[in-house]
Amino acid sequence: MIVRITRLLLLIQFLIALGIYLVIVHSFHGIAASFAAMLSLAIVVVVRLAITTNNFLLAARYSSETPPDFRVGWRDAFRLFFGEFRATMTASSWTMPFHAFSRRKPARPQGLPVLLVHGYGCNSGYWHSMSKALLKANIVHHAVDLVPIVGGIDEYVPLVHRAVERLCEETGQDKIVILAHSMGGLAARAYLRDHGARHVSRVITLGTPHHGTALAHFGVGVNTHQMRWTATEQEGIASEWLRKLAASEDPAVYRLFVSIYSHQDNIISPQTSSHLEGARNIEIHAVGHVALGYDRRVQAQVIREIRDASRVAG
């Protein structure tokens, strides 16, 4: 589904750029065709830049206090913004439309296998960059696509369960590692709630709204309602679904979790919503939400966590 949607959006953007090009050529006689083409493409890119800018501005309205060691200067802010813009462009225009996958196996597998669980509005193609890093580290990994796109998070539990069982069966391993981005981390928690941790050695979440995000109010679907965080004058309130999830979990399961998150996340706001009490929380400096799966520092940390989980399980 996401493959078709992202390809359709690419086609729409192309048609808009083509329309702008034709208007420029017919309105300004003598203008070079190459210049008109570059100008029309630039206009589309500016719109995409505006969307990324809007996400950062919305996140700033509800942001948590940034610890002094994680505050950014102008240089880091520049890298943060354009790193996130590049990641969103790559994911939406290249990896999700054309690089979705179900499984990848290196020639000489090492350690525990990994199940990749994407976030809201994505598919397995989101993990393309991370997948290359995992292959280089000789780590077997499968990916699951969460459908329906706008369904409830509980609907994803059977999909995750089947993917875990399949990964164990195909690799001959009794334990796996789950690596989840954003909403995928909540799907992983719901899976553990229903099926326990018999097959799970560790869960690594990237930018997961464990306590909700205010930006979910701007999304569409049952899952966005479930991820909401509502601000009041005194405090924030997580959604009823998140509160019920926390109440139904065994707190001991959080010891399996490693939550990696950024204090500059432009989708999860307040950013400390990704801090999960009882888990090992790792704070990352100056990385946007989508960019978490593309950042080399994050990828290196993820691989260290997988290898550590493999040593513990062994």
Domains of the chain, first to last: 1-314 (3.40.50.1820)
More confident residue, 222 or 237: 222
Query: Is the CB of residue 289 less than 8 Å from the CB of residue 181?
Result: no
- The predicted model scores a pTM of 0.96
pLDDT of residue 305: 98
What is the average pLDDT across 33-52? 92
One-letter amino acid of 59: A
Residues 6+ apart with CB under 8 A from 27: none
Task: Express each pLDDT in 178-218 by its tens digit.
Answer: 999 999 999 999 999 999 999 999 999 999 999 999 999 99
Tell me if residue 277 falls in helix, strand or coil: coil
State the pLDDT confidence band at 233, using cuts at 50, 70 and 90. low
Residues 123 and 176: their CA atoms lie apart, in Å, by 21
**Residue 31 pLDDT exceeds 90:** no
Label the pairing between strands 103-104 and 114-117. unpaired
Mean pLDDT, the chain, whole residue set: 95
